[in-house]
Amino acid sequence: MLKIKVGILGAAGYTGGELLRLLVNHPNVDLVFVHSNSQAGKKISAVHTDLLGDTIVCFTNQIQLDIDVVFLCVGHGDAKKLLEKYSFPNTVKIIDLSQDHRIHSTENSEFVYGLPELNREKIKQSSFIANPGCFASAIQLALLPLMEKKWIKSDIQINATTGSTGAGQSLSETSHFTWRTSNLSVYKAFEHQHLKEIGQTVKGFDGSFPHEIVFIPQRGAFSRGILASLTMKVDKNQEELMNCFESYYRSHPFVHLSRQAIDLKQVVNTNKCVLYLEKNGDRLLIVSIIDNLLKGASGQAVQNMNLLFGLEETTGLKLKAIAF
């Protein structure tokens, strides 16, 4: 059986912890090192206590270069610095979960944008993957079939709510339990950083896309998950739209179309995206739900690793939703 030698940089936070939970149970992974300056010397299970009994690996502040792939689970801005500091051999594949390499430029064009439902074949041929953002994943998966057909006839209005884990592990006023519980708030209206990723993808389909994308993000009083609702004008009927989406996602194992209204618990603790379409006159509503830590981050990173190494895309990702 193929064994992939894996290293992780920055595994003490929410995203790194979720990646560890997937990798310690992945049948094709040999976890070589888990790097964290703040937790060096501690057992992984002392920080991520749910992993007690699953692994005896300890955090380290040492980097090993004899690996097959390294995951960068560090803060935005830090991934580029680490790649400048550590010279990994050309044989090492890199999956960056930060936003440092998501936007194309001549400077970082070697990184492929790691949304498998958009770039599966490019990912398979690449060595450097820029894992998408969580909001960007949920929203783009709602738009890809329409963008391919060029069926959107108006501005796109988006309202999306994320759980508290989307804010990361560092404490702030808006991540404290006493502030967050029984509360709801808007933040970064019209200017969230994930708009750049979404706009980049839209331009990839239609460089002259004439409509505006209006995005209003919200903080929800729950731990994990994203529910995004998108509205726009489309001059196709319900069945034409359903057929379009079903055709686009037929070969993609993690995106599913529901013919009844959906709720967030259907996808929490899974790598799924579930979509629901509803037509009202000439307006289309699309609801998209994902787990922000899995399909929005670590699960998608493992999905990309599977593609890079020729494994079945779902390996290690057949997860159970919480449901209740």
Determine the residue type at 191. E
- Structure tokens given for 312: 């079945």
Contact present, 115 and 96 (Cβ < 8 Å): no
134 counts as catalytic: yes
Contact 109, 131 (CB under 8 A): no
Catalytic-role residue among 73, 134, 244, 273: 134
Mean pLDDT, rounded, of the chain: 93
Q: Which residues pair with 34 in a beta bridge?
A: 8, 59
User: What domains appear along the chain, each with residue ranges and CATH number?
Assistant: 4-131+297-308 (3.40.50.720), 134-290 (3.30.360.10)
Lowest-pLDDT choice from 18-27, 103-112, 255-264: 103-112
Q: What is the DSSP secondary structure assignment for residue 58, as one 8-state letter? A: B
Q: Which 8-state DSSP code applies to residue 43? A: B
316 residue type, one letter: G
Return the pLDDT at 106. Answer: 45
* pLDDT for 114 beyond 50: yes
Query: What is the spatial distance between Cα 210 and Cα 280, in angstroms, rounded to a whole number?
Result: 23
Which whole number is the average pLDDT over 282-309?
98
Examine the pLDDT at 130 and tell me if it is beyond 60.
yes
Whether the CB-CB separation of 321 and 263 falls below 8 Å is answered with no
pTM (two decimals): 0.94
Q: Is the pLDDT of residue 132 over 60?
A: yes
Length of the chain: 324
Q: What is the pLDDT of residues 169-217, one digit of tens each?
A: 555 677 777 777 889 999 989 888 899 999 999 999 998 899 999 999 9
Cα separation, 43 vs 49, in Å, equals 10
Render the burial of 56-85: b for 16+ CB within 10 Å, e for the rest. ebbbbeeeeeebbbbbbbbeeebbbebbee
Please, what is the Cα angle at 170 between 165 and 173, to 5 degrees? 85
pLDDT recorded at residue 260 = 97
C-alpha closest to that of 268 among 226, 221, 211: 226
What is residue 131's DSSP assignment? Answer: P
What is the reported pLDDT for 171?
55
- pLDDT level of residue 167 (50, 70, 90 thresholds): low
Question: Beta partners for 276?
Answer: 258, 287
Please give the share of the chain, as a percent, with pLDDT higher than 70. Answer: 95
Average pLDDT over every residue of 251-255: 98
Most confident of 12-21, 70-79, 127-136, 190-199: 127-136
User: Comparing 179 with 3, which gets the higher pLDDT?
Assistant: 3
Question: pLDDT at residue 168 above 70?
Answer: no
260's tokens: 């009844």
**Tokens 């159970």 sit at which residue?**
320
Q: Which amino acid is at 304?
A: N
For the cut 90, the answer to whether the pLDDT of residue 155 exceeds it is yes
CB 77 within 8 A of CB 100: yes
Residues 6+ apart with CB under 8 A from 294: 18, 269, 270, 271, 300, 319
Judged against a pLDDT cut of 60, whether residue 107 lies above it is answered with no
